[in-house]
Structure 1
Amino acid sequence: MRSTGSAVKAVIRYRRPDPECWEVVVKAACNPLGGTWDAARAAAQAGPALSGHADRLASALATRLGNVGELAVALAGAGDLRALPALRRIAEDDRVPFHVPWVPHLAALPAAELLPTMRAVLRRDPTKYHASTAALELLALWGPAAAPAVPEVVPYLESPYAHGALRALGRIGPAAAVAAERLADFATGRAPKAARHHPRLAAWAHWRATGDPALALDVCGAAVRSGTAGHGLPFLADLGPLAAAHADTVRGLMESPGAWTRVAAAHAYARITGDPEPAVAALLAEVDPDWTGNPALPTREAVRRLGGIGAAAAAAAPLLRRILAARERLSHPYEHVRIMADEAYVRTLTGALARMGAGAPVQPPVPAARRGLLRRWQGQGLH
């Protein structure tokens, strides 16, 4: 039987660990004495990998002891509604049961079930309550399903969390039209709380809420023409053919010295013009098969954008399969998000291959001989 420490290390390091590792991790995470925080932190990231352990997680949550927040997130990530009572209790106690990177697990739960709790969280003082960033991000991920929370989101435009509020309102869409005037004030810099990074996001949110693209085209187009391209390109991409007047400028930015700008420009150009060929070449140039997870490099974003192009980017499929076949997860400076970061990349790769019509290879389990070797290394403290 593995030690808890070696099992935690294995699930954090490897994409396809021995199933026994997750069994050990879950058992330790469910310890009612709460002395296995590393295991609980790993379990909170696992998502669907823990679907087979949902009953044990739910039973541990029912005791209200131990690592309750992490276990609730783990159960939510497994898509189990039994996480809801614990999440509601945690919110009522003014505690935050998750790091912001863990929010996608909560977004997998039905918005109608958890939205009343998030609205209650947001009704607390928007200038002080530190859960606001995570709550607003959750609403943004739910999108239109979070529409009933618009009255709670709007006051956050006057708070330190204005950026999150703008993003949430934009993702909610037409139901946020009641805030159109406030969004326009942020887009034009008239709002007292408007910061330099708000106008493009606010202009995009205004378009999403009202359906009128004029302000977004003006503000985001000006940003692209001025050289602050990275701030305007994603929004022009979302506008698609409506931004046709900016196509030549966007094409020129595919030769930018900045890799992130090149990727954003390639995506925007394909969306605006419907011509994928130049974009595929630019994006392929940024797909590094030896990428280790360095956030300064836009490799994962390039893969995601190739997937968005679909069949026209099928030339990238062999490279993406090779990256997907790696046994070790991407490195990350923070272990409490390494599993989630790598799983997100795996979903990006498999989704891209599916949209290209190329499928994804079935990944073999770790061979038994190699599992035994790993156990010996771990027992010697070398792994």
Structure 2
Amino acid sequence: MSRPDPAVETVLRERRPDPACWDAVVDAVCSEESSYDAERVLIQAGTAVARHTDRIAADLRRQQGAFGTAVGHGVAVRALALAGTGDLRALPALHSLAEHGGLPYSRPEARVMTALPPAELAAVMRTKLRRDRDGYHGNTTALEVLALCGSAAALAVDDVALRLDTPYAYDAMRVLGRTGPPAAATADRLAAYATGRGQGAGGSYPRRAAWAHWKVTGDPALALDVCGAAVRSGTASHGLPCLADLGPLAAAHTTPVRYLMDSAGAWTRTYAAHAYWRITGDPEPAVPVLLAEVDPAWDGDPALPVREAARILGQIGAPAVSAASLLRRILAQEERLGRPWRGVRILADQAYVRTLTEALERIAPGTGAAAPAPAPVPAVRQREVLVRWSK
């Protein structure tokens, strides 16, 4: 395996790389000998390459013209890079990719598209669902993105509802719940899953279905019953987030939720602390539990609820001020999360940085919580860096 370009190595490793590094990545992708490594990091760049959108859009058109098709790997890379900056010029190519194949299989990479307006993005995902009825990746990534479109996913409700009788039902329920009342026509089917009568019901399906039923109908009774029973029985990990969402409506379940804050499982402790605070409004017992999960040495391992704990501390706000110094210290770190060649290392780190920044702004607003932006790089310095990389 050939050694990757130094610019690619730098943006993968450093949280605040020299802007000239991103310039070099764009140069590498838009050259005649574009590298796979450079393409993978460009997809993850987001607004770091916003100043290059005209060039990326032009190269997207070149890719489409060169191969006589609106789809293909090169087209997908450039369309996703544009989408990550929120540039609407990505939409025609994304529609073509959805129609003919080529949207990303990776959920983190698919989520870069959510920088685009939700209504336009939901239309792209509806096309994907209609064209890829049976494919695993096509369904999971489309449903992942639709769930992030909120009520804008209403235009795809019928297509999402078709997945309730498939292996993709769990993801479909999340989309329907986040769509809310526009998905009310699915209420009876969600109730069937919640009560164990749906195809493939069991495991965590009833809790997800009960939560979605509440969201689409506005009636919390089924969610309180199903998720409360799960918490009382000890199968809590999927019931606690629902009770947290219900807040004071779930007051009858305060005692078992409080007990689960001492669970042996890190995720259960975290979700229980969140639910307890949301139900009671009392942050005092919850903050130490959450703070204990915020490991400054975390490498992005999804088995640990570190980012989620930081997010919840931010929701608690000023009463979680004891967390502020630790969150600042983590945000100031120069190295990104994870191993150097973890596939979506940049995306994982960007998400964590957003979580930390937003949490600090809510805990201690206006105190300079956010990490400093990199200083502008003089043109002479950029030329020196680029010359060094070319050797």
Please confirm whether the aligned pair reaches a TM-score higher than 0.5, indicating the same fold: yes
1:126-275 to 2 correspondences below 5 Å:
126-128=133-135, 130-275=137-282
CA-to-aligned-CA distance 1:114-135 (integer Å, 9 cap, x gap): 3333222212353336311111
Residues 4 and 37, structure 2, Cα contact 8 Å, conserved in 1: no
Residue from 350, 356, 362 that aligns with 1:349 = 356
Deviation larger for 8-17 or 352-361: 352-361
Q: In the alignment, is the contact (CA less than 8 A) between 1:247 and 1:269 conserved in 2?
A: yes
Q: Is the 8 A contact 2:360 2:370 kept in 1?
A: no
Mapped to 2, the partners of 1:332 and 1:161 lie a distance apart of 31
Q: In structure 2, what is the Cα distance between the partners aligned to 1:366 and 1:257?
A: 45
Mapped to 1, the partners of 2:18 and 2:199 lie a distance apart of 55
What is the CA-CA distance between 1:361 and the residue it aligns to?
Answer: 4.4
The answer to whether the 8 A contact 2:99-2:131 is kept is: no
- What is the CA–CA distance in structure 2 between the aligned matches of 1:227 and 1:100, rounded to whole Å? 30
Structure 2: distance between partners of 1:324 and 1:19 = 19
Q: Report what 1:43 is aligned to.
A: 42
Spell out, residue by residue over 1:99-121, the C-alpha distance to the aligned partner (whole angstroms, 9 max, x if none).
21123221221123233332222
Rate the CA distance shift 1:289–1:116 in 2: closer, same or farther, 3 A.
closer
Letter in 1 for 2:13: R
Residues 44, 109 of structure 2: 8 Å contact kept: yes
- Residue 268 of structure 2: SS of its match in structure 1? helix
Aligned-residue offset at 1:248: 1.1
Question: 2:9 aligned with 1:9, yes or no?
Answer: yes
2:57 is matched with which residue?
58
After TM superposition, list the pairs within 5 Å mapping 1:70-149 onto structure 2: 70-97=77-104, 99-124=106-131, 126-128=133-135, 130-149=137-156
What amino acid sits opposite 2:174 in the alignment?
Answer: R
**8 A Cα contact 2:313 2:320, kept in partner:** yes
Q: What's the counterpart of residue 288 of structure 2?
A: 281
Offset from partner CA, 1:274-316 (integer Å, 9 cap, x none)? 1111111111111112222222222111111100101111121
C-alpha distance in structure 2 between counterparts of 1:200 and 1:14, whole Å:
40
- Shift of residue 341, structure 1, vs aligned partner: 0.2
Taking a change above 3 Å as real, the CA distance of residues 367 and 54 of structure 1, as seen in their structure-2 partners, is closer
Q: Classify 1:58/1:304 alpha carbon distance in 2 versus 1 (closer, same or farther; 3 Å).
A: same
8 Å CA contact 1:72, 1:87 repeated in 2: yes
Q: State the 4+ residue runs in structure 1 displaced beyond 6 angstroms.
A: none
Deviation at 1:49, TM superposition (A): 1.0
State the Cα deviation string for residues 156-199 of structure 1 (Å, max 9, x = none): 11112111111100110111110000001111110123242211
TM-score of the superposition, structure 2-length normalised?
0.90
Are 2:25 and 1:25 equivalent residues in the alignment?
yes
Distance in 2 (CA, whole Å) between partners of 1:247 and 1:163 is 27
Q: Distance in 2 between matches of 1:125 and 1:338?
A: 28
Which residue of structure 2 aligns with residue 292 of structure 1?
Answer: 299
Amino acid at match of 1:37: Y
Whole-angstrom distance in 1 between the partners of 2:295 and 2:39: 33
Distance (Å, rounded) in 1 between the aligned partners of 2:338 and 2:40: 17
Q: 1:37 offset after TM fit, Å?
A: 1.4
Q: Which runs of 5+ in 1 are unaligned?
A: none
| Preserved contact between residue 103 and residue 110 of structure 2 (Cα < 8 Å) | no
Deviates more, 1:282-291 or 1:231-240: 282-291
Q: Distance in 1 between matches of 2:82 and 2:121?
A: 14
Most deviating of 54-63 and 355-364:
355-364
**Cα separation, 2, equivalents of 1:129 and 1:318:** 43
| Number of matched pairs | 373
Assess if the C-alpha contact under 8 Å between 2:98 and 2:131 holds in 1: no
Report if aligned partners of 2:214, 2:220 keep a CA contact under 8 Å in 1: yes
Structure 1 Cα separation of the partners of residues 102 and 119 of structure 2: 21
Does the C-alpha gap of structure 1 residues 352 and 68 become closer, same or farther in structure 2, counting only changes over 3 Å? same
